[in-house]
Amino acid sequence: MKQTTRAPRAALDLLVFALLLSTFAPLRAAQTSRTARPTRSRADSRRGAEPAPAWWKRAVFYEIYPRSFQDSDGDGVGDLDGITSRLEYLARLGVDAVWITPFYPSPQVDFGYDVSDYEAVDPQFGTLADFDRLIKEAHRRKIKVVIDFVLNHTSDQHPFFKESRSSRENPKRDWYIWRDPRPDGSRPNNWSSSFGPVAWTLDEQTGQFYYHYFYPQQPELNWRNPEVERRMFETVRFWLRRGADGFRLDAVNYLFEDPRLRDNPVLPELRPGTTTGEHLQEKKYNRDLPEVQDVMVRLRAFNDRVNPASVLIGEAYVPKWEELMRYYGPADNGVHLPFNFFLIMEPARTHLDANVFRSVVEASEKALRGRWTTYVLSNHDNPRHYDRYGDGAHNDLIAKLAATMLLTLRGSPFLYYGEEIGMVTTEPKTIDEVRDPVGRRYWPANKGRDGERTPMQWDASPNAGFTRGTPWLPVPPSARAKNVGAQEDDPNSLLNFYRQLIALRRRAPALLDGEYASLGEDPKLFAYWRKSRTQTMVVALNMSGEARTLNLGGGGLSASDFRVALSSRPRKRGQLTDGELALAPFEAVILEASGR
């Protein structure tokens, strides 16, 4: 990483901290003198008038890939009843919300992201009655349920598409993107598909091509047609009325395409693992068109009318913060939480490097200007961070460090099932084992996404407690040693560390919604303040195999003002007396400033 702004940084940190302290000091004074008549500053009374923060600002989210979480009927595929049976586990972990990836009827070409009916449950996942029970049981435990909304495309088996493809005159023809071949018979433009190679498929019967950014079995809806919007919004109403607490909006940056279908600029780089001239493209004409934002604003208004407490979470992998910011809407009237994937993207994706993380988080803070964000390290489309960051020798310790960061940054953390026990990415060994079609196409350069979708490891039994049948993906050999059962009883396990972290976060105003400021510029140590009106905390993450020290002087506090609230290595909790915090290799420590 280039380090050009090192020198002014320390000064800036101090300045930011001094400013924060000067804001907090009078408020603390007003709070402690109970007998004095409260004198409220203007800022204070403004704060007093603020409504309680929305639930999703304080929530820890947990992503469930339903195929792989818990099977209840022995068919080897996880299901809704399986999730319901594990709600107690989730409640104990301390999560506030689950996000369940698609469970709607689907040919399962893209494992549910090819929906053939938006308002039902695929029989392999259960029934609508199972969904209702899941909602009831989750809500009883104060767990919210967010579901996936796959609005950019349907399955080619959806009745909408079947009608659309039946003839050029069909009233639903315009619900999808159909185009004539070019005069030489070739496809309408050069756009490539995310899953490769090309984004157009010819329909022999009607002689036109249809557009699909993903698999050919996922034709893209035409969001320029108002009927499409109206019908898709009805789906939102359907699930909100059934008790869903919000939506994760799938691939939402691909909703619109250039009306003139201009060719995308071709980049010099080849698609990794290809030798046949498949070049990467700048997705200038099929990603993030401004019209997307108009739909987001209307969707938000629709959502707010049906259930104002519901949340919209946008999935958009964009290269720059400035593009992501647009999703919040011109007047913060768009998506509540556009996913912040910058910790999953290079360089943070693969580098456990304090400078990298510090700069990613600072860039987020700078772009956000106080708005709320998410933090996420793993999901069903990316190799698990356990092995992305692990060095092979300290993996569990590094996993605790990553968890500490995820759960203490200023934003809503998203956990991915199994990360709390350190599940590893387990890729298929041969091409015949691959279930994700993209892995078959680009084997072995890209083995697909099966590796991060293996069954949840509940216990040491042969199928890890996931199913009594044959699991749809093999249970990783690591399950024998690494499972919920084994970690339950070990006070130092990763699972118990996640529980402690989540519990600490829940009761710490500074971690829930305090300000963020980086602390120091050690290239091996990522440290930061979190400060609310009533509490100050310091998080110190030693991202190296060497001992480090963090100087706690400055900012008006000294080391003796701090006590250790949580550490990833055995150490005494309590006051620090030695003037600075000494950290062991890969240690993560959370300090609370006491008495302030």
Q: What are the catalytic residues?
A: 250, 315
Q: Which is nearer to ligand NOJ, 387 or 436 (CB)?
A: 436
> Is there a contact between 126 and 80 (Cβ–Cβ < 8 Å)?
yes
Residue from 113, 233, 339, 341 touching ligand NOJ (CB under 6 A): that is 113
Shortest Å, Cβ 593 to ligand NOJ? 40
Among 362, 381, 561, 580, binds ligand NOJ (CB under 6 A): 381
Per this entry, what is the length of the chain?
A: 596
110 touching ligand NOJ, by CB under 6 A: yes
Q: Is 149 in the site for Mg ion (CB under 5 A)?
A: no
Instruction: Kindly report the backbone phi and psi dihedral angles of residue 594, in degrees, each rounded to the nearest multiple of 5, phi listed first.
Output: -90, 155
- How far apart are the C-alpha atoms of 233 and 235, rounded to whole Å? 5
Least distance from ligand NOJ to the Cβ atom of residue 579, Å: 48
Helix/strand/coil (H/E/C) assignment for every residue in 436-495: CHHHHHHCCCCCCCHHHCCCCCCCCCCCCCCCCCCCCCCCCHHHHCCCHHHHHCCCCCHH
Instruction: Find the helix or strand (DSSP H, E) in which 10 lies.
Output: helix 6-32
3-state secondary structure of 501: helix
Q: How far is the CB of 110 from ligand NOJ (least distance, A)?
A: 5
Query: CA 109 to CA 436: how far, in whole Å?
Result: 8
Give the contacts of 188 (CB within 8 A, at least 6 positions apart). Answer: 179, 180, 181, 182, 200, 209, 211, 261
Q: Does 100 bind ligand NOJ (CB under 6 A)?
A: no
Closest to ligand NOJ by CB, 223 vs 458, is 223
* Beta carbon of residue 223, minimum distance to Mg ion (angstroms, whole number): 7
* Of residues 258 and 381, the one with the C-beta less far from Mg ion: 258
Name the E strands within 306-452.
311-314, 337-338, 374-376, 412-416
C-beta separation of 174 from 225 below 8 A? yes
* Binding flag, residue 254, Mg ion (CB under 5 A): yes
The pair of three-digit structure tokens given for residue 546, joined into one six-digit string: 């060497």
**Minimal distance in Å, beta carbon 255 to Mg ion?**
5
Cβ nearer to ligand NOJ, comparing 283 with 482: 283
Query: Which residue minimizes CB distance to ligand NOJ?
Result: 113
DSSP 117-169: -TTS--TTT--HHHHHHHHHHHHHTT-EEEEEE--SB--TTSHHHHHHHH-TT
Q: Choose the one of Mg ion, ligand NOJ, none that binds residue 220, judging by a C-beta under 5 to 8 angstroms depending on kind.
A: Mg ion
List strand residue ranges (DSSP E) for 333-432, in order.
337-338, 374-376, 412-416
Cα angle value 444/445/449 (rounded, 5°): 80
174 binds, options Mg ion, ligand NOJ, none, Cβ within 5 to 8 A by partner type = none
How many residues of this chain interact with ligand NOJ, rule: CB under 6 A? Answer: 9
Binds 381: which of ligand NOJ, Mg ion, none (CB < 5-8 Å by kind) = ligand NOJ
Residue type present at position 157: Q
Residue (160 or 516) nearer to Mg ion, CB: 160
Q: Which is nearer to Mg ion, 220 or 522 (CB)?
A: 220
Tokens 């110190």, residue located: 540
Instruction: Spell out, one character per residue from 269 to 308, where the chain touches ligand NOJ: x when CB under 6 A holds, - when not.
Output: ----------------------------------------
List binders of ligand NOJ among 46-75 (CB under 6 A).
none
Q: Which of 109, 150, 335, 495 binds ligand NOJ (CB under 6 A)?
A: 150
Binding to Mg ion by residue 220, rule CB under 5 A? yes
Instruction: State the nearest-atom distance from the C-beta of 256 to Mg ion, in Å.
Output: 6
Q: How far apart are CA 306 and CA 364, in angstroms?
A: 31
Which 197-256 residues touch ligand NOJ, going by CB under 6 A?
214, 250-251
| Distance of closest approach, residue 114 Cβ to Mg ion, in angstroms | 14
Give yes or no for residue 250 binding Mg ion (CB under 5 A): no
Q: Which positions lie near Mg ion, rule CB under 5 A?
A: 152, 220, 254-255
Q: Which positions lie near ligand NOJ, rule CB under 6 A?
A: 110, 113, 150, 214, 250-251, 315, 380-381
